[in-house]
Structure 1
């Protein structure tokens, strides 16, 4: 690899990492316009493993905006990012795949402004598919693979006696 190619790869890794971070911040802040802007025109997201929907960006934004009203406090922590770059066949655009683990603590809305409302925590793995566009890197797909969740005892099934 030449130094120019190595530098371009490093810059792409920074851009891809920034896009994944922007994704987490947009969801946590409920900034649905910013969320939309992260996706390529054909972008899709799949939240079915976490009890959500699969669809195009507009469908998913509608579902997220409504669902996240239950959780006024959200904080995605996305770690262990594994980035792989590729070239689209018979296309000039570059692609990337990111596999990243997440833990997502959230707080249920409470009657007292949320300070004593119970917490909900889940974790799993994201699979991001990205494509380089004229506007920079964009998400082509996001797939959530929820592996576990911890809900407040009051929301859990009572223990069998």
Structure 2
């Protein structure tokens, strides 16, 4: 691999890392315009393994907005990222996949958390693995697909 290809590969990996981090932040913050900006126009997401839906990015953003309003606090931790860049003639191509584990502690909304002074400890936690597919566009790397593979969840009763 040439020095130019190595530099390009490194820059692509950093851009893909930013894309995945942006995904987690957009979901946690409820930034749905930001969420949509991470996808290609034909991008899709599949949350069926976690009890959700499979849909295009716009429909998924609307569904997530509705579902996540039930959680006063949420935080995605996306880690153990395995980036695979497509190769073309020894140089990085224009598609990539990222497998990444996630841990997602959240706090269900309820009387104790709605007034802002209640408990903040998570009482709902789920974890699993994401499969992200991405494509290089004129605007940089964008998601073409997200598949959630939930492995476990734990729910604790709300504190009153």
Q: Same fold (TM over 0.5)?
A: yes
Kindly state the Cα deviation for residue 58 of structure 1 after the two structures are TM-superposed: 1.1
| TM-score of the aligned structures, taking structure 1 as reference length | 0.89
Which residue pairs with 2:119 in the alignment?
Answer: 116
- In the alignment, structure 1 segments of 5+ residues that lack a partner are 155-161
Cα deviations by residue, 1:114-161 (Å, 9 ceiling, x for unpaired): 53376100000000000000000000000000000001157xxxxxxx
1:30 partnered with 2:33: no
Q: 2:112 aligns to what SS in structure 1?
A: coil
1:127 partnered with 2:123: no
The number of aligned residues is 150
Whether the 8 Å contact between 2:100 and 2:129 is mirrored in structure 1 is yes
Cα deviations by residue, 1:64-87 (Å, 9 ceiling, x for unpaired): 000000012110000000000115
Which moves more between the two structures, 98-107 or 116-125?
116-125
For residues 41-80 of structure 1, what are the structure 2 equivalents within 5 Å? 41-80=41-80
Kindly state the Cα deviation for residue 112 of structure 1 after the two structures are TM-superposed: 3.0
Whether the 8 Å contact between 1:110 and 1:116 is mirrored in structure 2 is no
Q: Which runs of 4+ in 1 moved over 3 A?
A: none
Whether the 8 Å contact between 2:126 and 2:154 is mirrored in structure 1 is yes
Larger relative contact order (C-alpha < 8 A, sep ≥ 6)?
2
- In the alignment, structure 2 segments of 5+ residues that lack a partner are none
Cα deviations by residue, 1:40-91 (Å, 9 ceiling, x for unpaired): 0110000001111000011101110000000121100000000001158xxx
Higher share in strand? 2
Quick one: distance in 1 between partners of 2:82 and 2:5?
Answer: 19
Q: 2:111 aligns to what SS in structure 1?
A: coil
Whether the 8 Å contact between 2:123 and 2:157 is mirrored in structure 1 is no
User: Alignment RMSD, CA only?
Assistant: 1.6
Quick one: distance in 2 between partners of 1:42 and 1:86?
Answer: 20
